[in-house]
Structure 1
Amino acid sequence: MKKIDPSFSEHLFRPIYELNTASAWLAGGLTTPFLSTMYSGGGSLPTAMAIGAGMLATGTYHGVKSLPLLKRQLKLSTNKKTFMSVKELRKRNNLEKIMTSGKANKNLRTTFIGSGYSWGSEHANRAYQVMDMDSNMSQVELPFFLKPVVKAMMKETEALGGKPWIHGMGDEKKISVNESNWFGHTCITGNVGTGKTVLLKMISVNALHMGDVLVILDPKNDADWKEAVQKEMEYLGMGDRFYHLHPAKPSSSVRIPLLKNYTRITEIADRIAPLMGSSGTGKAFQDFAYEIIYFTAQGLHYLGEPIRLTTIQKVISSNRRGLAMRVLDKYFKGAVGENYAEQLADEFADINADRLAAMAGYYNQYLAKDNECKAVEGMIQFALHNEEHYVRMVTSLRPVLTSLTADPLDDLFSPIDDIHDVNDTREIVDLADVMERGGCIYISLDSMTDSSTAGFLSRLLLAELAAIAGSRYNSEDKNPRRVTIANDEVHASIENNDAMMNMLAQGRAASMQMFLATQTISDIEAKTDEATARRFLGLCNNFISMRTTDPSTQEYVAAQFAKASVSQQQVRTGTFTDTNSSVLDFSSGYQETLMKTREDAFPPTLLGDLPILQYVARLADGKRLKMRLPIILNDDEDGEVAPWAA
């Protein structure tokens, strides 16, 4: 009967009658020749052998028919970890063919994502059947010879947790998807310890196989993740382009100037001011912070000095008048002459005893009309602002700047390239330069010890990457090197971060793709608001979820799988007697109804029952997948390098 038949009903978890039939035929096939010899002598042996062969063939046929049901029912109660060597992963990703071909074949550019199957209505129907069983699944009686197998696997099954039967609804195979899917950006959710980092590790290695630049923001400094990426870089012959920054290990970290890449000065203020937050009355403080950061950056730019977090912090905290004096000094030397101080000494004295106020007054009275300078005007407004009001307005900004410039972050993210310091061999890495040359930047944010500063840094780093994306977008290079950005615990990076939203909306044009992991959708809503969280999810065309117990996340995942027609069977029985007509008047009835209803194709409650290292996915190309994730093992010999890179 075809599945499109309205009366079709699949019963995968019934007793395996085919196995009983196969056992009977096989037993008959084996015993027939012996019984024939025993009771009839050897004369009928050829005939008995032929009959036995036929019986064995029939038994084998029924045995083969029972195998799918045996496997399916075994998967109801067992689960195990799967492993894959990095060498096999390279083959799956066609690494050698991609690296050695003169021109990359788009059909080869696929990345492995695990073993699984496309979840459809048939799997939904099977799932609802199992959900209707009792907790012990007593309706399914495994053959006696499988019970020892289940018992032997029970310890590993329990360690992986969840309901093992969910993945058993389909027949898994190894799945790879075209890399073009990832340009749509990817959101990954899942409870702690369910396998998000294992997935991110595999995605990172896949990105290296595709030749991407890799930027990793790791809040926990996961040793396995870092080691896997570093070893793969060494195998690819790019070990010298693996850059690691870890605030807890400043002596061995590379250094990254965070405010080096920008197109307009306003970008500097746009990155730093939102770190204060902007809810309620805080909006006025953020606007004030934006303005003074802009004035500071503008002044430094006018002087031709590098714009660093440390410099901005010093100016705003205690040296705004000093910066203003240097800006005005440069301006007056250009507008009046090198000896302006002597020439205008009397005029300055008449205007104000305060030298800075005097120079500001002279500029406004005599020079501004014909020789206007925005940097000078900004410095005047900044430096001469009422002190009492200024101190009150920067109360919220100072702690942010202090945390970003405290030791050792001042040296790591606001480095000074001192060629005379021969003892400091740490490299200063320009993110824009790495984007063009290739390589991997692995940044351990150390959020376990200081979550607030880690959040500030992740937002500034993403803003720096957004600035590079904007520069790429505006350049004439229409095919820049592809960049993969992997950010774990992304909810710490998204608060007041327009740069991230812009990257999600327009990153594809700059050949940038993002993999953003968090625990739940509620985490994102808590850091932003419901509308921003929905926008964030809408901009991520790929959605992957491990086990999650958050209702909002469960509902969102279920919505990605839409609805499916689920078969429901209704049975009605009844008896009836009528003593008014006759004592013997008795009737009974039985009614069986098969109907279909539209239900969630992937029931939300199953998200809370997924075992560790399993996930469901909705991809940009429309696929809905149920997947199991292998653990990637590096089996390279020490120092092994790819043949084409040696």
Structure 2
Amino acid sequence: MAPSHAVEVLLRPAVELYSVAACAGAAVLCVVAPWSLALDPLLGHASAAAFVVFGSLRLCDALVVLRYRRHIRRLPRYVMTSREVPVSQQRLYIGRGFRWDQRHTHRLMQTYRPEFRRFVEPTALYRFARRLEARLAFAPAPLSTLARLLAWDSPWNPARPLPPVGGLPRLHGIEPHEVDVTLPLGERVGHTLVLGTTRVGKTRLAELFITQDIRRRVNGQHETVIVFDPKGDADLLKRMYVEAKRAGREGEFYVFHLGWPDLSARYNAIGRFGRISEVATRIAGQLSSEGNSAAFKEFSWRFVNIIARALVELGQRPDYLLIQRYVINIDALFIEYAQRYFAQQEPKAWEVIVQLEARLNEKTIPRHMVGREKRVVALEQYLSQVRVHDPVLDGLRSAVRYDRTYFDKIVASLLPLLEKLTTGKIAQLLAPNYADLTDPRPIFDWMQVVRKRAIVYVGLDALSDAEVSAAVGNSMFSDLVSVAGHLYKFGLDEGLPDTASTTKSAINVHADEFNELMGDEFIPLINKGGGAGVQVTAYTQTLSDIEARIGNRAKAGQVVGNFNNLFMLRVRETATAELLTRQLPKVEVYATAVMSGATDSSDPHGTTAFSSSTQDRVTSTSVPLIEPAHVVALPKGQCFALIEGGNLWKIRMPLPAPDPDEVMPKDLQALTGHMRQHYVEASDWWDKTTLPGLRDSALPPDLRDDFRQRAADDDQDTA
């Protein structure tokens, strides 16, 4: 084989073996019987050495062809335990693969030619074994044992089945020489998008990245890891805790899960802010702004902002329950704030207000104030006569002056959102009681998480209630955007004493099924979050999912355009595959063709009856580097990656080896076990006596007694 030839052909018989056999026979003959070749013993040994060297070279060429043909049909197994995952301070490990170039496109095109079919398709023995295995699967016991032997995954099985990954092994087998593929950590700030259909390895790739993010130490410090998991993958939660335990970070591990509120940490999405207007932005930002809804969204923002300002002035931390309470009953907040204001500014004013309230009756109440409390009407009459310059009081006054029926209509779009966030036990998670010291569930916020460099798993239980999970996810994203803005302006240690360090801490955000969480809040997170150290890795199925979620093609393009690194696993949508293939150039591939012909002589008296000619021609054709059909045919666990400024890599991820989970606490073991069984069911998780599908016998004794005690207390309160 001469690799310098213009046309490389590796799919062919290993004809070099003939030379190897001839050299081996000649070498033996030179040593055993040199006289047969008219050589003396010394020259015979020298000739044998020459034959051995030449035969070794030809054997190496033959092994290249044989290994290439073997990899075209079956790739070598690539398994790695989580302990074996390499961790670096400079690079992110992805898997094994090669950089795709014109040579690989040429080799791939050759595999589709009919003359090379016998080297690419499974052997006759393999096809016979698979047919026999399928027929014997339903046979009685003695014959079914033969089916299991045929399916035995061992090198000793001559008809060993292929791994259950589907796709075309040739896509990766065209390059026998793999290398470890890594991504510089500096490239991750440009964000990463992972696309792939269901069950092709997105979560496995996420586990690989998250494992390294948890264990990595840069300048002696760990990094923040935040994982959004809408569907609730128990294996992902288990992997995160096991890695946190191995890294000695179990004390920094938080689990927030909407489906398991009794075991979840608590979180107030609007409790921390840099400016008070952020509270209204996070809530009203989730409302629709299309068409006529824009006016209602603006009014809802103003109304929530009025309530939030009043709560802060009253010394209360805003949360969803308080916002909902005063959206429904703004009169109570108006009265409470007025009492505090006049008690500090004009103590005698309240006596006048009480006198005005005593004089009111149905006839003296203005029409636009009908339905309001008399004290509210009295306050309005007093403020209309006395000039009071307080912006909060003025805002509350403008809110109560609306007609009650009209007011209920213009906040109608706000109430459903608040209902989603405050119904059942979710209210305990999103509106935690900071004064309740008996509640063992921790309370966290994003600034605290970043400063502690903590690990957070956010399970949103989207399969049970997609509306609530989307609302909570958007709230968290909006809060995270606010924290990123604060970090960008003031740094991580702003406000803390004796902090001279100005280094940024990487915030690794992994958003699985991020199309279910994404809203307008997600765009500034990936657009401007890199300056604060936010590194987003988003996982989804297709581009259509993003467009359907946002509802705008231009915004969907804006989202995709902010991801610098692209990992494309198997997809079923051609438009999604073209996101990768359209960014790649065309290359020239070569093909050989044999041209032969014969020409009769026109001279009947000549000595030549005819002339013939045979030519080997090399032609070139311009083709895309890869086609969408190649992306659709990827096996599970393999991907094309466009990284480091548009370099195309073909990568396969390591298959996971089973790891025991004995290091997990018993309550988390029970949680992950039942997440595996019931995460697709909409169970009665609001029932305080049990968790979804969780029997008392499955819980550890201390946790079981705790649940029973809470249930008994609730029954007494109800009675």
Please tell me the TM-score bracket, short chain as reference: 0.7 to 0.9
Distance 2:107 2:480 in 1: 46
Paired amino acid for 2:411: V
In structure 2, runs of 5+ residues without a counterpart are 130-153, 217-221, 367-373, 493-501, 665-719
Q: Which of 421, 433, 448 lines up with 2:448 in the alignment?
A: 433
Give, in whole Å, the separation in 2 of the partners of 1:531 and 1:290. Answer: 25
| Higher relative contact order (CA closer than 8 Å, sequence separation 6+) | 1
CA separation in 2, counterparts of 1:221 and 1:304? 37
One-letter amino acid of the structure 2 residue matched with residue 93 of structure 1: V
- Which range is displaced more, 22-31 or 557-566? 22-31
> For residues 364 and 263 of structure 1, do their structure 2 counterparts lie closer, same or farther at Cα, with a shift above 3 Å needed?
farther
> What displacement does 1:305 show?
1.0
Kindly indicate whether residue 356 of structure 2 is the aligned counterpart of residue 341 of structure 1. Answer: no
* 1:82 corresponds to: 78
Matched residues in 2 for 1:153 and 1:117: separation? 29
Q: 1:129 aligns with which of 107, 110, 117?
A: 110
> Residue 626 of structure 1 aligns to a residue in which SS?
strand
Match of 1:549 in 2: 572
Match of 1:355 among 375, 385, 403: 375
Unaligned runs of 5+ in 1: 95-107, 641-646
Evaluate the alpha carbon distance shift between residue 530 and residue 599 of structure 1 in structure 2; reply closer, same or farther with a 3 A threshold.
Answer: farther
Give the secondary-structure state (helix, strand or coil) at the position aligned to 2:199: coil
Match of 1:296 among 279, 301, 307: 307
3-state DSSP class of the match of 2:329?
helix
**How far apart, CA to CA, are the structure 2 residues paired with 1:49 and 1:359?**
117
Cα distance in structure 1, aligned partners of 2:647 and 2:271: 41
CA drift of 1:560 comes to 3.4
Cross-structure match for 1:397: 414
The RMSD of aligned alpha carbons is 3.5
**Which of these residues, 496, 507, 511, is aligned with residue 487 of structure 1?**
511
Note if contact 2:276-2:309 (Cα within 8 Å) is conserved in structure 1: yes
Relative distance call for 1:277 and 1:585 in structure 2 (3 A) is farther
Question: In the alignment, what sits opposite 2:561?
Answer: 538
CA shift at 1:69, angstroms? 1.9
In 2, Cα distance between equivalents of 1:398 and 1:200: 36
Give the match for residue 331 of structure 1. 341
Cα distance change, pair 534–152 in 1 and its aligned pair in 2 (3 A): farther
1:464-475 maps to which residues of 2 (within 5 A)?
464-475=479-490
Shift in CA distance, 455/581, structure 1 to aligned 2, threshold 3 Å: farther
For residues 425 and 54 of structure 1, what CA distance do their matches in structure 2 show? 80
Q: Which moved more, 1:603-612 or 1:348-357?
A: 348-357
Aligned to 1:26: 24
Instruction: For residues 150-206 of structure 1, give each alpha carbon's deviation from its aligned partner in whole angstroms, at most 9, with x where no partner exists.
Output: 995876535110000101122211122221111111011001111000111111111
- Name the counterpart of 1:178: 184
CA–CA distance in structure 2, aligned partners of residues 383 and 231 of structure 1: 54
Question: 2:92 touches 2:185 (CA, 8 Å); kept in 1?
Answer: yes
Please state how far the C-alpha of 1:48 moved relative to its aligned partner: 5.3
* Aligned mates of 1:387, 1:22 — CA distance in 2: 97
Deviation at 1:425?
Answer: 1.1
One-letter amino acid of the counterpart of residue 366, structure 1: V
- How do 1:75-474 residues align onto structure 2 when only pairs under 5 Å count? 75-79=71-75, 81-89=77-85, 92-94=86-88, 108-133=89-114, 137-138=117-118, 152=157, 157=162, 159-170=164-175, 171-210=177-216, 211-316=222-327, 318-337=328-347, 339-346=348-355, 349=359, 352=365, 354-368=374-388, 371=389, 373-419=390-436, 421-422=437-438, 424-474=439-489
Letter in 2 for 1:615: C
Q: TM-score under structure 1 normalisation? A: 0.85
Alignment of 1:607 with 2:631, yes or no, is: yes
Aligned partners of 1:195, 1:153: CA distance in 2, in Å? 29
Separation in 1, partners of 2:490, 2:264: 31
Percent identity over the alignment? 24
- Deviation, structure 1 residue 443: 1.0
- Tell whether the 8 Å contact from 2:273 to 2:279 is kept in structure 1 after alignment: yes
Q: CA deviation at 1:139?
A: 5.5
In structure 2, the CA distance between the partners of 1:2 and 1:363, relative to structure 1 (3 Å rule), is farther
Asked whether the equivalents of residues 193 and 563 of structure 2 are also in contact (C-alpha less than 8 Å), the reply is yes
CA contact (8 A) 2:638 2:651 kept: yes
Q: Secondary structure at the match of 1:295?
A: helix
Paired residue secondary structure (2:6): coil
CA distance in 1, matches of 2:532, 2:564: 17
Compared CA separation, residues 471 and 133, structure 1 to 2 (3 A): farther
> Retained in 1: the 8 A contact 2:242–2:661?
no
Deviations 1:106-133 (A, max 9, x none): xx42221110111112112222222344
Question: Which amino acid counterpart does residue 69 of structure 1 have in structure 2?
Answer: V
3-state SS of 1:494 partner: coil
Instruction: Give the superposition deviation at 1:49.
Output: 5.4
Distance 1:582 1:446, change over 3 A: farther
Cα 1:60/1:377, change in 2 over 3 Å: same
User: 1:527-558: CA deviations, max 9, x gaps?
Assistant: 12221121111111111111112111111111
